[in-house]
């Protein structure tokens, strides 16, 4: 199958390699690229008496090494939104990593149920933009926390969308975020897709992502059984 990947470039390359190994023909169209605020993150890690850390994307730890940037925090609990994010935390050198179950609400409830080892707030290393549900649920559960923006997703400009569509002639598009799906359909409207003779499947990481698919194309949207790449790619089988 010919598959269009809409992730940021570095991650798109890894996904394209996986797709090729699965026998698919993969093409990338990065709609956003991350900008990391490394100094802000390192200052925050060293500044507070944090009882735990929380991350909802591996991007938050992209350039972090626990032993170098968070001395003394190696053993502090790190709550990660899902399996891949938990793997990133372990790779960064954090030794007590808890998988929060796959979405922001579950992550907040996992944190609230976990016995705090020390006083002090939770440090949330966040992205921009982000969904509000994680922070809203923490407040509802009366969990003290501070948010530091660790990275921002910036739109890639001057995208040759029609050129990519003509060259790739994709049969499926992978969407990992609602923002990427929304931007894709801003750049490639249902009318434009029809003009290019494309009859696409839109494979979405979650129901929230699928909600960004226009109503006229919603019957072509499929949702992964779990919010991770393995489940998303299994939709191609």
**pLDDT band at 191, cuts 50/70/90?**
confident
Verify that 209 and 138 share a domain, yes or no. Answer: no
**pLDDT above 70: residue 227:** yes
Verify that 43 and 127 share a domain, yes or no. Answer: yes
CATH number at residue 147: 3.40.50.10090
Verify that 50 and 143 share a domain, yes or no. Answer: yes
Verify that 169 and 230 share a domain, yes or no. Answer: yes
Verify that 179 and 229 share a domain, yes or no. Answer: yes
**Of 138, 154, 170, which residue is a domain's last?**
154
At 119 the pLDDT is 73
Domain that holds residue 185: 2-31+156-234
Verify that 144 and 199 share a domain, yes or no. Answer: no
Verify that 75 and 135 share a domain, yes or no. Answer: yes
Number of domains composing the chain: 2
Instruction: Give, for 155, the enclosing helix (H) or strand (E).
Output: strand 145-155
**pLDDT above 80: residue 14:** yes
At 118 the pLDDT is 64
Verify that 123 and 229 share a domain, yes or no. Answer: no
* Tens-digit pLDDT profile for residues 21-77: 999 999 999 999 999 999 999 999 988 788 999 999 999 999 898 888 887 788 889
Verify that 112 and 43 share a domain, yes or no. Answer: yes
171: closest CA among 25, 30, 28, 29? 25
**pLDDT above 80: residue 165:** yes
Verify that 143 and 170 share a domain, yes or no. Answer: no
**Of 123, 154, 185, which residue is a domain's last?**
154
**Do the beta carbons of residue 31 and residue 4 sit within 8 Å?**
no
Verify that 71 and 180 share a domain, yes or no. Answer: no
At 48 the pLDDT is 72
**Do the beta carbons of residue 27 and residue 159 sit within 8 Å?**
no
**Do the beta carbons of residue 4 and residue 168 sit within 8 Å?**
yes
At 68 the pLDDT is 87
Q: What's the chain's average pLDDT?
A: 92
Instruction: Give, for 4, the enclosing helix (H) or strand (E).
Output: strand 2-5
Residue % of the chain over a pLDDT of 70: 99
Distance, CA of 42 to CA of 228 (rounded, Å): 28
Of the two residues 120 and 81, the one the predictor is more confident about is 81
Q: Which of 69-73, 153-157, 217-221 has the lowest mean pLDDT?
A: 69-73
227: closest CA among 42, 88, 47, 102? 102
At 70 the pLDDT is 81
**Of 154, 173, 194, which residue is a domain's last?**
154
Verify that 73 and 176 share a domain, yes or no. Answer: no
* Tens-digit pLDDT profile for residues 110-154: 999 987 666 789 999 999 999 899 999 999 999 999 999 999 999
Per the confidence metrics, is the pTM higher than 0.75? yes
């Amino acid at each position: 199958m010919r598959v269009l990947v809409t992730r940021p470039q570095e991650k798109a390359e890894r996904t394209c390699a996986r797709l090729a190994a699965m026998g698919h023909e993969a093409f990338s169209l990065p709609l956003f690229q991350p900008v990391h605020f490394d100094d802000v993150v390192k200052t925050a890690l060293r500044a507070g008496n944090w009882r735990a850390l929380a991350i909802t994307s591996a991007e938050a730890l992209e350039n972090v090494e626990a032993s170098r940037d968070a001395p003394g925090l190696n053993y502090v609990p790190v709550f990660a939104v899902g399996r891949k994010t938990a793997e990133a935390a372990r790779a960064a050198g954090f030794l007590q990593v808890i998988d929060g179950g796959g979405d922001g609400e579950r992550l907040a409830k996992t944190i609230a149920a976990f016995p705090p080892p020390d006083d002090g707030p939770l440090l949330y290393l966040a992205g921009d933009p982000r969904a509000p549900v994680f922070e809203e649920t923490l407040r509802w559960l009366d969990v003290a926390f501070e948010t530091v923006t660790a990275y921002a997703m910036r739109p890639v400009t001057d995208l040759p969308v029609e050129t990519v569509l003509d060259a790739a002639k994709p049969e499926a598009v992978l969407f990992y975020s609602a923002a990427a799906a929304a931007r894709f359909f801003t750049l490639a409207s249902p009318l434009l897709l029809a003009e290019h003779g494309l009859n696409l499947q839109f494979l979405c990481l979650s129901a929230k992502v699928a909600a960004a698919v226009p109503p006229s194309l919603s019957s072509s949207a499929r949702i992964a059984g779990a919010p991770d790449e393995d489940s998303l790619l299994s939709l191609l089988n």
